[in-house]
Structure 1
């Protein structure tokens, strides 16, 4: 059973660990230089961000989601529990708060695009660059139910 709760400052180190492991498992399209720059940026804000966490029976975070103004900015799942419904549980929680939630996903991350489409998200557009102007196209998605 997955429990979902707000993050606290004590969760910061574990959240970074989840982010790094998940990116290493799913974002092989990133150049080493971009991966390093993104890591530095993420380490600067993620530990203090208002996250929703999925935690195990020991209250250890196993995934996290960041929603800002109805837009899911981030969803990352520990690769050890990937495919077990943890990410879907977080998304369903987010949808209970923001029923028309939007998100963006890297076009090169086919598994993530499929994941969101299976949950009822539809494509609303595409950008040739990511949010930092890097050459990683984004697919824009909106939940349609």
Structure 2
């Protein structure tokens, strides 16, 4: 079984046309979906790649292969009527994040880590009754929180 969050996180990748509605459908049936890291043979399988999708689903004992989103949804509707497991193979790149965004995220993370460190320092200063350390850490804390606003 795959978690709903894992399926929804796929939306943060570059999806082929029609994949978003198929992922929405899979979220509702996540307890019947298993993520695989290899392409399996002779099992119900949905492959989502950068340039398209293909579903290999058994229908009346014959493995049907469909690559169009409407056809895939139709096969999935029929497949999920049975209580079988669908294997999902994903080969998608992440959406590229501009370096400016990455830099801002790193700065925010560094500030958050520093705030946590200052909080521990303030607690330690209070425990040890270290007035100088308390005032120094409190002032830096005040500057960090005022720059956040």
TM-score interval, smaller chain? under 0.3
Instruction: Please identify which structure carries the higher strand content.
Output: 1
The higher radius of gyration belongs to 2
Instruction: Give TM-score scaled by structure 2 length.
Output: 0.27
Instruction: Give TM-score scaled by structure 1 length.
Output: 0.28
